[in-house]
Amino acid sequence: MAAQYTLVLGTRTWSSWSLRPYVAMRATGAPFEEVVIRLRRHEAPSTRDEILKHSPAGRVPVLKITEHGRTTTVWDSLAICETLADRHPDAKLWPDDANARAIARSYAAEMHSGFPDLRDQMTMEFGRTLPTPDLRDATKQQIARILEAWTQALDNYRGDFLFGGFSVADCMYAPVVSRFLTYGVALPPKVKAYCERMMALPAMQDWGRAAKAEVDAGLPEYASL
């Protein structure tokens, strides 16, 4: 019997960490159920209380894998992507070449642990168009680093995605693609084309529709924006 997957996500409009494993999950082609927990809520029960029902870490996303009568809980975006890559080798979520795979993992890890100013000044507002904020020098430097890294990968591997075929590296940068479009970041042609291919993925399209539905439904937090 195939494993049963449940992916616990945060509000799609904002949860960049949830988007990453979502696109990885979709790339495997495996069926899965979704549980969406609304973030930034202030009334009881709190967001944290809701998440703690699924993970002791108190954060989303969470992947639950049920098979042989047992459920394994995996938390953290990169850990979930790695788990999916291990369990679905046919999806080729890492490059076949060992050297390319090592570099792709470096890209993913750099995104996982870095770019704090970009995260702070350009929060994910998936599918929205907002004015570019007055960017700090550190934010500008981090944007430049990402554009440099993407250009190098696209030049070196000459595919539609960073390492030729779609990989965990693309999953990890998917929220950045949406941020650059939301805030109107100037992109060189090659990078702009890459962002367009990312946004055209069925997973990104479906995420966008769900994010729009959240906003249309009237997320109360938007009253303060």
Task: Parse the chain into domains and list their residue ranges.
Answer: 4-90, 93-204
Q: In the block, which residue shows the tokens 């509000």?
A: 11
Instruction: Supply the pLDDT for residue 43.
Output: 47
In one letter, which amino acid is 67?
E
**In this predicted structure, what is the pLDDT of residue 70?**
96
CATH code of 93-204, in short, is 1.20.1050.10
Tell me which amino acid residue 18 is: S
Q: Which amino acid is at 92?
A: K
Torsions phi, psi for 63 (to 5 deg) = -115, 125
Q: Quick check: bond before 45 cis, omega within 30?
A: yes
Let me know if domain 4-90 sits in CATH 3.40.30.10.
yes
> Which run of H or E residues covers position 72?
strand 70-75
The pLDDT of residue 44 is: 43
* pLDDT score recorded for residue 224: 31
pLDDT given at position 168: 98
Give the pLDDT means over successive 10-residue stretches in the chain (225 positions): 92 95 98 88 61 79 96 97 98 98 98 98 95 97 98 97 98 98 98 98 97 81 38
Closest by CA to 21, choosing from 118, 120, 91, is 91
